[in-house]
Amino acid sequence: MKLSELKCIISGGAQGMGRHFALRLSEAGAQVAIGDVNEAGLAETVELTKQGPGKVHAKKLNVADEAEVGAFVEWAHGAMGGLNAVISNAGILRDGLLVKKDRETGAIRKLSKEQWDAVIGVNLTGATLLVRDAVAKMVETGTKPGVVVNMSSIARHGNRGQSNYTAAKSALAANTVTWSREFGAFGIRVGAIAPGMIETPMTQGMNQKARDALVAAIPVARIGLPEDIWLGVKFILECDYFNGRTIDIDGGLSM
């Protein structure tokens, strides 16, 4: 698909990678509908994209709220005059060991259900609801071709202190295969990107010691940038023969 022909929803568009994707698509002349819980960030993204030939529309979106997702898809379809692409990018971190023993007191601490539910709610359930409703709209309107880009993670292979995040991101990678098989009959492809350590507000909020250790372990000797991930997203959007696979973009990092 040509980028200029896209009418694309991007979740998590208020900052980080989602904002970068919106900028790049706007520069290419695409129509974009961005959603996020951060309304101030959405407004900033729209302002940054005003110089591009494309058009960026923004509306508050909590992907973990089923009714809100459905309403957002309907709004996006109307605002853009159609819908043929989704970049399911919204995500959060609530890291913690599943079970931890305090070295001084011996007290046992467990990952809270609230931490588990928050990450699964946004990173897996929310991502699934968005893909479901967006694809349903494409099928309803007879739109083809269409394309979905899921955002998985290097953590899908397993990472200490990220049981919730790993569960969500590994499921998205697996469902990229599942959905490619289900949506193929409708002319809709599905691909995924699995970023490694990328410079975004989310990773900037990590424990500094853990962040430094991860960056030191990257063979290309630097943290990734949103542009690195955009190159992978752009490939999936443009290559009509790519389907049902996850692309690792991690600088060679292994966890």
User: What gap in Å lies between CA 252 and CA 255, rounded to an integer?
Assistant: 10
CA distances from 107 to 99, 161, 172 (A): 10, 18, 35
The whole-angstrom separation of Cα 204 and Cα 211 is 8
The structure's pTM equals 0.93
| pLDDT at residue 249 is higher than 80 | yes
16 within 8 A of 201, measured Cβ to Cβ: yes
Angle among Cα 191, 31, 46 to the nearest 5 degrees reads: 105
The pLDDT value given to residue 205: 73
With 0-12 / 13-18 / 19 or more C-beta atoms within 10 angstroms meaning exposed / middle / buried, residue 69 is: buried
| Domains of the chain, each with CATH number or no CATH | 3-249 (3.40.50.720)
Q: Which residues are known catalytic residues?
A: 165
Greatest Cα pair distance in the chain: 62
Whether 130 has a pLDDT exceeding 90, the answer reads yes
197-207 pLDDT, tens per residue? Answer: 898 877 777 77
